[in-house]
């Protein structure tokens, strides 16, 4: 791949991280990358196309480095811990910020929305596989919807990322609270067979009590 192309992609990531989606103009990105402004249009055609490429390729690179860490995870609390590592490292590198900014910008741009969803799915899929593995023999496995829960967790992390930008202390307390919640889930996970059966029965009754959720499968 051309050197200039890569410099522009890296420059786009850094510019979005430092100056937000709105501040990521062709001039600003080119200045960060140390190349001429016109090259943005030569290599990518438009600023949005550059941002799209930056979002997808940067995400692909980062997901790759996290795959083996996810494979090593053996319980939910460890998954949350990896999530927190990810949060810290990615914040420094600016890739989750890029994702959050892409999501915000994509709200009113259907074309951008499509590619943002694609990039986000690069994160969602391995996390979903990990959650499926961890919850395979859990007493709650047949009552929770793993694809949906995975998306809730990933979307929640993006929200936390944005929240940290306006209230760092609040975001830290939120992550700590989730860690404590992880302890609670761990306790449920560690239950003996008798208690598990009791929980299972209770869950089924509770399920019937309420109106059927839209996605029973």
**Roughly what angle, to the nearest 10 degrees, separates helices 47-72 and 76-93?**
150
Using the contact rule CB under 8 A, the part of the chain among 2-10, 41-49, 51-59, 167-175 near a copy of itself is 167-175
Q: Is residue 113 at the binding interface for a copy of itself, with CB under 8 A as the rule?
A: yes
**Shortest Cβ distance from residue 112 to a copy of itself (Å)?**
8
Cα 104 to the center of its chain, rounded Å: 14
Given the structure tokens 């892409």, which residue do they identify? 102
**Shortest Cβ distance from residue 129 to a copy of itself (Å)?**
16
Q: Is residue 125 at the binding interface for a copy of itself, with CB under 8 A as the rule?
A: no
**Residue from 13, 26, 79, 99 binding DNA (CB under 7 A):** 26
Give the CA count within 13 Å in the CB-facing half-sphere of 24: 28
Instruction: State how far the Cα of 57 lies from the Cα of 34, in Å rounded to an integer.
Output: 20
Tell me if residue 210 falls in helix, strand or coil. Answer: coil
Compute how many residues bind a copy of itself; rule: CB under 8 A: 73
Q: Is residue 35 at the binding interface for DNA, with CB under 7 A as the rule?
A: yes
Q: Is residue 37 at the binding interface for DNA, with CB under 7 A as the rule?
A: yes
Binding to a copy of itself in span 52-71, by CB under 8 A: none
Residue 142 backbone phi and psi in degrees, to 5: -90, 0
Q: Is residue 45 at the binding interface for DNA, with CB under 7 A as the rule?
A: yes
Using the contact rule CB under 7 A, the part of the chain among 18-26, 100-108, 114-122, 169-177 near DNA is 18-26
**Roughly what angle, to the nearest 10 degrees, separates helices 47-72 and 110-134?**
0
**Residue from 5, 7, 62, 77 binding a copy of itself (CB under 8 A):** 77
**Residue from 6, 38, 64, 184 binding DNA (CB under 7 A):** 38
Tell me if residue 28 falls in helix, strand or coil. Answer: helix
Q: Is residue 74 at the binding interface for a copy of itself, with CB under 8 A as the rule?
A: no
Q: Render 41-69 in DSSP notation, one character per residue.
A: HHHHSSHHHHHHHHHHHHHHHHHHHHHHH
**Nearest CB to a copy of itself, comparing residues 1 and 213:** 213
Q: Is residue 28 at the binding interface for DNA, with CB under 7 A as the rule?
A: yes
């Amino acid at each position: 791949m051309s050197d200039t192309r890569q410099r522009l992609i890296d420059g786009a990531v850094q510019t979005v991280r430092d100056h937000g989606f709105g501040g990521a103009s062709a001039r600003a990105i080119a200045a960060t990358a140390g190349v001429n402004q016109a090259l943005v249009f030569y290599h990518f055609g438009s600023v949005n196309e550059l941002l799209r490429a930056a979002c997808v390729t940067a995400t692909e690179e980062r997901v790759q480095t996290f795959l083996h860490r996810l494979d090593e995870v053996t319980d939910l609390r460890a998954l949350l811990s990896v999530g927190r590592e990810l949060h810290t490292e990615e914040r420094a590198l600016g890739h989750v910020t890029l994702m959050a900014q892409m999501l915000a910008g994509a709200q009113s741009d259907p074309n951008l929305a499509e590619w943002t969803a694609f990039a986000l799915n690069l994160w969602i899929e391995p996390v979903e596989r990990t959650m499926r593995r961890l919850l395979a023999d859990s007493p709650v496995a047949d009552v929770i919807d793993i694809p949906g829960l995975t998306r809730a967790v990933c979307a929640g992390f993006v929200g936390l990322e944005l929240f940290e930008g306006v209230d760092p202390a609040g975001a830290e307390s939120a992550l700590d609270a989730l860690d404590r919640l992880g302890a609670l889930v761990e306790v449920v996970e560690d239950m003996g067979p008798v208690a598990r059966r009791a929980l299972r029965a209770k869950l089924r009754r509770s399920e019937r009590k309420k109106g059927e959720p839209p996605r029973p499968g």
